Amino acid sequence: MNEGYRFIGKNTPRKDAADIVTGRAEFVDDMKIPNLLYARILRCPHPHALIKRIETRQAEALSGVEAVLTYKNVPDWTAGVPRHIRVLDQKLRFVGDAVALVAAKTTAIADKALELIRVEYELLPAVYDVEEALKPGAPRLYDQFPHNRIPSEVPIFGPKSLAKIQMGNVKQGFDDADVIVEGTCRYEGISNPLSIEPPGLIIKWDGPGKLTVWSATQSASIQRYVMQGRLGLPDIRSIGEHCGGSYGTKNQYSQVFFYAAALAKATGKAVKLFYSKEEQMGAFVLRLGSRFTGRVGMKKDGTVTAVSGTWFVNTGSFSEITQGQIHVGFGEIQLALRCLNWDLKPELVCSNRNASGTVRGFGGQELKSAVLPIISRAMKKVDLDPVAFFRKNYVKPGDRYLWRDGNWWECRGIDYRKAIDKGAAAFGWEKKWKGWLTPTAVNGPKRIGVGVGVHGNADVGEDESEAYVRLNPDATATIHSCVSECGTGQKSSLCKMAAEVLQLPLERINISPADTLVNPFEFGLVGSRGTYAVGAAVIAAAQDAQAKLFGQAAEILKVKPEDLTGMDGMVYVKDSPDIGLSWRKIMGITRSITGFGHFVPDFSVPSFLMVFLEVEVDTETGRLDLRRVVSATDVGQIIDPLSLEGQLYGGLGAAGIDTAIFEETVLDEKNGRLLNVNMIDYKWRTFNELPPFELITLETPVETHRFKAIGVGEIASAPGPSAVLMAVSNALGTWVSDYPVRPDMILEAAGRIPGGASQ
């Protein structure tokens, strides 16, 4: 659906493509700054310990070492929600926690200095399981959090932030149900998605209250405003360099910022801190641990009459913004399950595993992956096809839902039933679906099963965006938007939107680097908001600039502005195309025209994606193979086909489907260590193992902005895990309720080894 567009909906080269493939693109690790120092971190080998004594004199005396920091001499900065994380602490709370920081002239010197630091620890008992951590007598991580329970009611998104879902009459809802099921499902131990580029940054103090940070962040503006409060309100200039992937994990990471900022402050020089791959895997943030225990009531027609239960959220050693993820998760679950009666509460708990941070899916993926398998059990009891169930229950225009801000929103988005039907037909669902806990096919020990999952997000319209568009006399335009490129091609798509408004060749549109010093505020590329929220601000700025240009041209041509049109740096009278002026004639050579655009949050147009998949399990070996995937969505209007495809294919991998198969952190609870923090023991899918993946992408105009589009990038990964669990359960003929589905779980379910799953 191109609607006669010149650029929108057509494949065009990315603005940064040549720089990336030729090596001209500068990443943080490429940067050269005079007198740059290199940071290293001494990490704790124990899951829970107190530092009884730490000796740093030998390290400090080493030639080339410029600073050694411990809990005794670091700045008194704190992070977390509520504030509970110090830069360095006397108490260590996971294997890999930071003990000391070193800045030196070379990395080799810094590494040598770490070897010279002597630490005596007092070992403390550790706790890893979320429910064990809540029990009386469990080891306490923070004095301010009795029973390791962190407040979940912190209003991240305003005074009414959605800290729980309580509405209707749950008792009556269960009384009205034809069937009631209860159970527990665990989406835990899921890794960081492991972007190719580990987290890293460079920080330089330009004075007592002023600093500059260069980082691979998704959100330069958010990094500035979040860290300002945590560092005592200095003037922070945040510059987003090229980012070698993020998957949500580089949105903000206070600890990395803290470490480098503290060393830079102590030395008076720029400090570079770049994690090794082992540190990224073993000491950086993980995905939230998610466990749902509860009950679901359902009628025979698929109406959900009641949902009650507890969402146990394991945030690990600290909480960066976990409450925000809970608020979003509670909003997103309502998009898939229309229900009048809810009693769903969280337990936010800290434990002695790695901390949790922002990851693609941001709460909704974690909650749905744990809740939907319990919903499946109710569907089986009423013998309801899951495609029909989701078709009935996914939010439709006119439906209302509580969103993360605690306010009611009425859906004015797309009716996605057509997308569901198209996806089901492309997959061949009607032929493949044989019923609950029934394989599609059996070939000796090998069994094939199918499953579906669904996800959507109203955060496509989240938070504020501002943009400027400057028109230049030489018929070029520059977008000023603080957007960091994190691999999605969104900056190029924004240029396409501006080019379409201004009718300029795409090569004449440029976009500024992500630098808070020169750009207006931009919340960042999170929650699939780039297409709608950021796009709306850029479109409005381009339209504003064009209106000012036409206003000036109208005075010269003695016509009304609405009688004008433009093309390729010329302004024409609509009915007299031979009468026109160049931009240079209108502006002269010493002026420019700048338009401003502003987006106000709008949570009324949720996105949607359904994934259909087929798996094969081998009941003799425990092997699980993903045979085929079909995704179905509706994006309103495709902005850039190749970028969209790349986002949707991202449903595979460590942020999506593969979290249900083998993307796991293996924790040894005897010593608190992760056992697979290397590229040999960590199991992941290689290119030659990728299954056939078909995309069904519809285009139904939706009232967002001028080009009637919404984003779907983040949600591509979220439906996959629950779909895998459904497919495996159907293949085996018994319920599987934990992730990832390891070979031993398959063998247990098949009765090959002791254990076994319950029906």
pLDDT in tens, 399-414: 999 999 999 999 999 9
Q: Measured between alpha carbons, how far is 292 from 286 in angstroms, rounded to an integer?
A: 19
Q: Is 105 exposed, middle or buried (0-12, 13-18, 19+ CB in 10 A)?
A: middle
pLDDT tens by residue, 61-107: 999 999 999 999 999 999 999 999 999 999 999 999 999 999 999 99
In this predicted structure, the answer to whether residue 694 has a pLDDT above a threshold of 90 is yes
- Residue-by-residue DSSP string for 215-245: E--S-HHHHHHHHHHHTTS-EEEEEE-B-S-
Over residues 741-753, the mean pLDDT reads 93
> Would you state the structure tokens that stand for residue 471, as one six-digit string?
């028109």
In this predicted structure, the answer to whether residue 392 has a pLDDT above a threshold of 80 is yes
> Would you state the structure tokens that stand for residue 599, as one six-digit string?
């987006």
Structural domain spans, the chain: 17-26+463-599, 31-124+196-245+250-282, 289-460+604-749
- Its pTM stands at 0.95
> Would you state the structure tokens that stand for residue 157, as one six-digit string?
């998104």
Q: Measured between alpha carbons, how far is 725 from 488 in angstroms, rounded to an integer?
A: 28
Confidence of residue 714 (pLDDT cuts 50, 70, 90): confident
Which one has a higher pLDDT value, 575 or 412?
412
Q: Measured between alpha carbons, how far is 503 from 671 in angstroms, rounded to an integer?
A: 63
| Architecture of the domain made up of 289-460+604-749 | 2-Layer Sandwich (3.30)
Task: Please tell me the predicted confidence (pLDDT) of residue 265.
Answer: 97
The lowest-confidence range among 145-149, 194-198, 471-475, 642-646 is 194-198
The lowest-confidence range among 168-172, 253-257, 752-756 is 752-756
Confidence of residue 48 (pLDDT cuts 50, 70, 90): very high
Range list of H helices, 162-290: 170-176, 220-230, 254-267, 277-282
Cβ atoms of residues 362 and 655 within 8 Å: no
Query: For residue 97, which of 106, 108, 86 has the smallest C-alpha distance?
Result: 86
In this predicted structure, the answer to whether residue 709 has a pLDDT above a threshold of 70 is yes
List CB contacts of 56: < 8 A, sequence separation 6 or more. 68, 70, 100, 116, 117
200-207 vs 271-274, strand pairing mode = antiparallel
Task: Please tell me the predicted confidence (pLDDT) of residue 250.
Answer: 83
Q: Measured between alpha carbons, how far is 345 from 735 in angstroms, rounded to an integer?
A: 25
Asked whether the CA dihedral 195, 197, 198, 201 is positive or negative, the reply is negative
Over residues 585-603, the mean pLDDT reads 96
pLDDT tens by residue, 426-452: 999 999 999 999 999 999 999 999 999
Over residues 554-572, the mean pLDDT reads 96
Over residues 573-597, the mean pLDDT reads 94
> Would you state the structure tokens that stand for residue 447, as one six-digit string?
């069994």
Q: Measured between alpha carbons, how far is 7 from 26 in angstroms, rounded to an integer?
A: 28
Q: Measured between alpha carbons, how far is 50 from 60 in angstroms, rounded to an integer?
A: 22
> Would you state the structure tokens that stand for residue 27, as one six-digit string?
């990443």
Is omega for the bond preceding 692 within 30 degrees of 0, making it cis?
Answer: no
Confidence of residue 243 (pLDDT cuts 50, 70, 90): confident
Q: Measured between alpha carbons, how far is 735 from 756 in angstroms, rounded to an integer?
A: 10
Between the CA of residue 249 and those of 163, 197, 199, 508, 671, what are the distances in Å? Answer: 23, 11, 9, 33, 26
Between the CA of residue 163 and those of 153, 158, 284, 459, 668, what are the distances in Å? Answer: 5, 11, 26, 17, 32
Is omega for the bond preceding 520 within 30 degrees of 0, making it cis?
Answer: no
655 DSSP 8-state letter: T
3-state SS, 147-158, equals HHECCCCCCCCC
Indicate the helix (H) or strand (E) that contains 546: helix 535-557
The lowest-confidence range among 128-137, 215-224, 610-619 is 215-224
Between the CA of residue 630 and those of 133, 221, 387, 423, what are the distances in Å? Answer: 40, 36, 13, 7
Complete edge-to-edge strand list for the sheet that includes strand 514-515: 65-69, 98-104, 37-43, 271-274, 200-207, 210-215, 235-240, 514-515
Beta bridge partners of 307: 296, 342
Confidence of residue 757 (pLDDT cuts 50, 70, 90): very low
Q: How many helices (H) and strands (E) does the chain have?
A: 19, 34
Cβ atoms of residues 235 and 210 within 8 Å: yes
Between the CA of residue 335 and those of 195, 286, 373, 409, what are the distances in Å? Answer: 29, 26, 16, 11
Same fold, 17-26+463-599 and 31-124+196-245+250-282: no
CATH superfamily of 31-124+196-245+250-282: Aldehyde oxidase/xanthine dehydrogenase, a/b hammerhead (3.90.1170.50)
φ, ψ of residue 160 to 5 degrees: the values are -110, 25
Confidence of residue 527 (pLDDT cuts 50, 70, 90): confident
Q: What percentage of the chain exceeds 70 in pLDDT?
A: 99
In this predicted structure, the answer to whether residue 683 has a pLDDT above a threshold of 90 is no
Task: Please tell me the predicted confidence (pLDDT) of residue 2.
Answer: 59
Cβ atoms of residues 227 and 235 within 8 Å: no
Beta bridge partners of 215: 201, 240
Query: For residue 698, which of 621, 629, 609, 613 has the smallest C-alpha distance?
Result: 609
Cβ atoms of residues 307 and 296 within 8 Å: yes
3 state DSSP class of 422: helix
Over residues 355-361, the mean pLDDT reads 90
In this predicted structure, the answer to whether residue 684 has a pLDDT above a threshold of 90 is no
433 DSSP 8-state letter: -
Task: Please tell me the predicted confidence (pLDDT) of residue 339.
Answer: 97
Q: Measured between alpha carbons, how far is 244 from 223 in angstroms, rounded to an integer?
A: 18
| Architecture of the domain made up of 17-26+463-599 | 2-Layer Sandwich (3.30)
Range list of H helices, 337-477: 364-381, 386-393, 417-427, 429-432
Say what angle helices 386-393 and 364-381 make with each other, to 10 degrees: 120
Over residues 191-209, the mean pLDDT reads 92
Task: Please tell me the predicted confidence (pLDDT) of residue 755.
Answer: 65
Q: Measured between alpha carbons, how far is 358 from 325 in angstroms, rounded to an integer?
A: 8
Q: How many CB atoms lie within 10 A of CB 107?
A: 14
Between the CA of residue 390 and those of 372, 393, 426, 736, what are the distances in Å? Answer: 11, 5, 17, 20
Beta bridge partners of 698: 634
In this predicted structure, the answer to whether residue 421 has a pLDDT above a threshold of 60 is yes
Cβ atoms of residues 606 and 554 within 8 Å: no
Confidence of residue 689 (pLDDT cuts 50, 70, 90): confident
In this predicted structure, the answer to whether residue 141 has a pLDDT above a threshold of 90 is yes
In this predicted structure, the answer to whether residue 758 has a pLDDT above a threshold of 80 is no
